[in-house]
Structure 1
Amino acid sequence: MGELTDRKAIQRCHAGYCRQGAARGLVLAALVGASLSFAAVARPLQQTTNFDGDRAMADLRKQVAFGPRVPTTKGHEECRDWLKAELAKSCDSVFLQPFTHKWSRNDKVLPMDNIVGEVNWKDATTRVALFAHWDTRPTADQEYDAERAAKPIPGANDGASGVAVLLELARVIKAKPLDKSIGIRFVLVDGEDVGPGLDEMFLGATHYAKSEGRKGDYGILLDMIGDKDLRVPKEPNSARLAPKLTNALYEHAKAVGLGSTFPDSFQGEIYDDHLALNEGGIPTVDLIDFTYQPWHTLEDTVDKCSATSLFKVGKLLETWLRKSPVWKP
């Protein structure tokens, strides 16, 4: 995509995210229609959670402490090894899914790795893939100053927040296992934010979607969900490509007291990892708050993030996965 000249423009497409006017969201809302209802008799929803927002926040800080997680850097390598080791403490198995990309910026081949942790994956009848990207943007392209724009972002919210939630969720599930019918994959994708254009983004998700084997009956993607003023309306591409999942998840959010954080309304259209995943046959919803002002700047730092926000997202996922009957696409 070209340089964004007007940062206040209604449409922001520069780095893979496209925000458009509310009119399209209203049209999509009409197309999607009413939320799902279930004929089966369900147990009362679990309102409480074992998810620890402070512990997730510590994981966010740890990632940022490695420095920018840009492919080929020391911080990227060290963070990868730490993430793999952390997942191994909670999962049945953990493996790397390596891939490469020749970067247009310098013609260098970038080695990258998706990090995949599995819980009850082989024996499950319903397999849920949970996604977050762990890499960070090589350039702070939303900075006005050219010198600052050439630097890599810290990636506290855009890079570390979704991963932090998944690490803590893995611990919670380890301590209190889910129903035996459910299998979980924690998929930490690399190369989401390489850029500069869309053709060099979502690389890890695209690689995962094209991989062999059981990739998940459905997926939930977390991206930029740690900011202090968290509000995550429905994302139009999610509603269009995975309508049943999107409606059911937002209906559940309301049922467990998270309706104000996950309102039944639409934000602008987002280009993110979920597009490649849906195209690869995995119905996937993108949970993202794209009103985050420090996006792709050097101000995307730990102090902009909140343990409370991480807790809310963790609560949504944990209670969703413990629903009875188990949700199926």
Structure 2
Amino acid sequence: MRTARQRTGDVAPDQRGRSVATTAACWLAVAPGAAWTAVRLGGWERGPLVQLMAYTPYAAGLAVLPLIGALALRRWRAAAVAALSLVALAGVVLPRTMPGGAADAGGPRLRVLTANIKHGEADPDALVRLVREHDVDVLAVQELNADFIAALDKAGIGELLAHRIVDDPAVYVNGGLYSRFPLTGGGIHQDESGFTQAYATVTLDGAAPLSIESVHSCAPLTVADVPCWFAGLRGQSPATPDGAIRLLMGDFNATVDHAPLRALLATGYDDAAARTGHGWHGTWRPIDRAYTLPPIAIDHILIDRRVAVRRFAVWPLPGSDHSAVFAEVSLPPS
């Protein structure tokens, strides 16, 4: 007859094997979240990681799962790493749900809208209807072409927004501007990525002049596109906190989890979505591919920090893979 000690000795190696396998599985589950956190905090996205970083809010939500698993299995070191990852990711995404920013200084209000029309495939009547129903003062449009410009005219855009700056309509990458108010000092900004963007100044009675630019930055669709993406974001106009009041709006092809966009914000801009607690609201999703992805926030209205945001909204735009993004801002009085 074997003793209890002998029986324990017989099963101990198998138990140790299962313990090692469980520990390894825990670390394998924890490692992706820890790596994601390191890349996000360090701004180290390169190659395919650029695309992944756009989904950081979803990664933050999923980060609780490996923590629960590690705690349930009593793998305390793995649980500690998972907890740190969760806290770090929550720390960068949760503030986007909390309204804040500059108080309304009582200056004139301006209603702005930006829309990427997907190479002219969006419904021009739907876009003009948004402008009319929401009394939009300035419209930024990306991926314009000659046919869509004509279609907008036929839909009545000129009756609502009589002033415009559109570059060569044969080039879809253009960012054009339409305005209810005169556009002065306008022109076309072309950065090293080759994309072109219209800019101009709008002056309202009782407010300092406001410089507005329609942004369309290079998309990181493939790894080969990433250098163009970096160049496009580096080439955006920085804020001038001690000078002219600026507003950038359009398709940045970047979320606030991308380091180049955060660098642009650091010059003195706020994201209107995050300022109003709507920072998780996605604006783009693929509509003509065999797979489905959750929406991500790559269309933005970046405002000078002296500007207050009174309203913010995201509306679907039929025919486009982008939603239209709206903000009503209050300008500092002159």
Indicate whether the TM-score tops 0.5. Answer: no
TM normalised by structure 2 equals 0.24
- TM-score using structure 1 length: 0.25
